[in-house]
Amino acid sequence: MLFAGCAEDLINGVDKNYNPATHFGSDSTFEVITWNIENFAKEGNVTVDSLVSFINLLNPDVLCLQEIESADYFQELVNHLENYNGHRENSASYDLDLAVLYLNDLSVISIDEIYTDDWWSFPRSPQIIRLNWKNHEIKLINNHLKANCSSAYSNCNNEENQSRRRSGMEYLDIYTKHYLDSSNVIILGDLNDSIDDPENDNVFMNFLLKPAEYLFVDTYIAYGSPDYWSFPTWPSHLDHILITNELFDEFESLGSVVQTFRIEDYMEGGWNTYEQNISDHRPVGLKLIFKP
């Protein structure tokens, strides 16, 4: 594991000796990252500049983003990413919108929202991205499910919030079955709950009880060391990636991987700097090797 060195080794807060692109993004693999970038952009241009550096290093095909508050800063981010295009929705409650960044040479068929009339299940309407990667059609469903209460909301009901997340997952299952059957589907995002909860308290059971149809590829992260959970301030692992069985063989291919990126390890000031300038969530990425 590398750690940020002295200040002269840093570019926009990023350790210039660290190059995760050699281990993640490549021309021969499909990569997607989910990343809740808290209240983007928390520190304005500082946030944008840091993200530009890290995204260019990681070099994934697609980034599914949550909590994109500022349309202007998002466009600035896109403008500074020479290899990427982007799309931000504008229908989320409290302006914490979903967005997607994708490589310019990726063939994006369409970007739409679903369940736009169900605010209870989806305070941020899921964003579906249909794309073609090297003749493989892939459907991504980007999500940010209902969060639990913070101490600032005295009338908030966490049992209701959990029910809302469970409802959202049930509708995602229904949508996948009815409209995306036999498709390469990846459901991902800040799902605001733990996949390792007991069965009677687990909002993901409708997927977990169908192991022949679905797989949370980040299961080993959820059951592993808290050092690699995506939401360390709780601590918990809330950012998940779920695939349908059409992608099982690809995920089982040697070289396919899912990982949490501890970006704070490569910033001067560590977690405090990362949380102040970027987010309270870490990104989680999936790399797939498609067979010829």
pLDDT tier, 158 (very low <50, low <70, confident <90, very high otherwise): confident
Structural domains in the chain? 29-288 (3.60.10.10)
Residue 158 or 191, more confident: 191
| Residue 136 to residue 30: CA distance in whole angstroms | 10
pLDDT tier, 7 (very low <50, low <70, confident <90, very high otherwise): very low
SS3 of 214, please?
Answer: strand
- The mean pLDDT of the chain is 90
Q: Residue 85 CB: number of other CB atoms within 10 A?
A: 14
| Residue 49 to residue 14: CA distance in whole angstroms | 10
SS3 content of the chain, % helix, strand, coil (to 5): 30, 30, 40
pLDDT at 290: 94
pLDDT at 157: 75
Q: What pLDDT, in 10s, does the model give residues 170-211?
A: 999 999 999 999 999 999 999 999 999 999 999 999 999 999
Beta sheet of 284-288, edge-to-edge order: 84-88, 97-103, 62-68, 30-40, 284-288, 257-260
Burial of 147 (0-12, 13-18, 19+ CB in 10 A): middle
Residue 21 tokens read as: 């692109």
pLDDT at 14: 43
| Residue 137 to residue 2: CA distance in whole angstroms | 36
Residue 212 tokens read as: 């022949």
In the chain, the N- to C-terminal Cα span, in Å, equals: 33
List all residues 6 or more positions away from 56 whose beta carbon is below 8 Å from its beta carbon.
21, 81, 83
Q: Is there a contact between 134 and 184 (Cβ–Cβ < 8 Å)? A: no
pLDDT at 154: 54
Q: What percentage of the chain has pLDDT greater than the value 70? A: 89
Lowest mean pLDDT among 20-34, 62-76, 95-109, 219-233: 20-34
Query: What does residue 148 show for φ and ψ, rounded to 5 degrees?
Result: -80, 175
Cα-atom radius of gyration of the chain, to the nearest Å? Answer: 18
